Amino acid sequence: MDLTFTPEEQRFREEVRAFLESSLPAGMRHKVLEGLHVPPEDTIEWQRTLHRKGWGGPSWPAEFGGTGWDPVRQFIFEEECAAAGSPRLLPFGLKMVGPVIMRFGNAAQHRRFLPRILSGEDWWCQGYSEPESGSDLASLRTRADRNGDHYLVNGQKTWITLAQHADWIFCLVRTDWSGKAQAGISFLLIDMRTPGVTVRPIVMLDGGHEVNEVWFEDVQVPVENLVGEENKGWTYAKFLLGHERANIAGIGTSKRELARLRRIAAVERKHGRPLSEDPMFAARLAQVEIDLMALEITNLRVLSAEAEKRAPGPEASLLKIKGTEIQQALSELMVQAVGPYALPFRIEALEGGFEGDPVGPDHAAPLAATYCNLRKASIYGGSNEIQKNIITQMILGL
């Protein structure tokens, strides 16, 4: 693989940078670069800004309203957005259910759902995990019973990220109990405003409300919201999980966080010298950077496969494992860099414009919360242990 960018690709990079410089509000940029809380209003506003530019679907084909960019341009765009401090684009619509609807949905679903994802009108969340069905997802028990022109859905989903903001949820539900577990699952699109849908918050270790329980009690879902064929949802779920795991790698975000770590290490001191000059700390930082460079090459290979109309394969498991390990390592090094100042933090200090009296330097305020939050990164999207099993079976053939 040629890892040098062509002159045309470099010009595209400059175009992206110029757009970000002129269109990304300073307040959004500050929140992202400093690890502060980004409210949902900022996320929606940024998606709409990109949509007006024609860049609302960076990885989508032009036939569905996307940019039609090749993998290299997608990579450049995401890298530049992360470096500039733009809010993260919501993956649930753009990189999860959107590709599923494109591949397996019908024309009516294309017209109904895809434009509203691009415009930021619909916020999606993912309904996969259940209290006793996480890594063993095929054991899920949320059921959808056919009743004329609709399904009656009952059950519970858990760890549903940002469901409190969502307009729609894409769900795996059981429609057949008679055969093999994977063969009786269907893929439903459910309006979160439907009577019988209840969202209950789960407050995490860092005090934040990011995940939720979602309950379904006799929820009526039109049959037209079934994606593909009934009882074929496991196939669609695996397709989606490949995209999710590749996205979790977060190369651009890790590059941005590496730059933030360097800034912190340059101002924190040990024995009277900048921490960046400490041999042990510098060695650990260098190792993370090397790992990130290797991951970037692997990510480009997976993007090339997607350009050939192939869903991400077991390589996505490699991205997921190493990507989350790097994210956790970066957050750990930031906490170590500021020492005891990382321990006490106030939730209010994670909000932009906080004017209180934090303990320690401003850059230390969000680090403990980020560290705690990223402990889950190696679990969601399929735990790293499960990903190693996939690699063992599908790549090594063991």
Interval 372-383: pLDDT, tens: 888 888 888 778
Catalytic residues: 244
CB proximity list for 249: less than 8 A, separation 6 or greater: 295, 299, 319, 320, 322, 323
Q: What contacts 24+ positions apart, CB below 8 Å, involve 342-350?
A: 342/367, 342/368, 342/371, 343/368, 344/368, 345/369, 347/207, 347/208, 350/35, 350/36, 350/37, 350/208
Alpha-carbon gap, residue 69 to 75, rounded angstroms: 10
The average pLDDT across 221-238 equals 95
pLDDT digits (tens, 9 = 90+) for 150-166: 999 999 999 999 999 99
Q: Which domains does the chain have, with CATH numbers?
A: 7-89 (no CATH), 124-231 (2.40.110.10), 249-394 (1.20.140.10)
The pTM of the full predicted model, rounded to 2 decimals, is 0.87
- pLDDT at res. 306: 60
Annotate 357-379 with DSSP letters as a single string.
--SS-GGGTTHHHHHHHGGGGGT
What is the per-residue pLDDT for 2? Answer: 54
- Give the pLDDT score at 365: 82
Residue 305 is predicted with a pLDDT of 65
With 70 as the cut, is the pLDDT of residue 358 above it?
Answer: no
Give the model confidence (pLDDT) of 301-327 as tens digits: 776 666 565 556 677 788 889 999 999
Would the pLDDT of 261 be above 80? yes
In 3D space, the residue among 207, 217, 186, 224 whose CA is nearest the CA of residue 351 turns out to be 207
SS3 172: strand
Residue 220 region by backbone torsions, left for phi larger than 0, else alpha for psi between -120 and 50, else beta = beta
Q: How many CB atoms lie within 10 A of CB 297?
A: 11
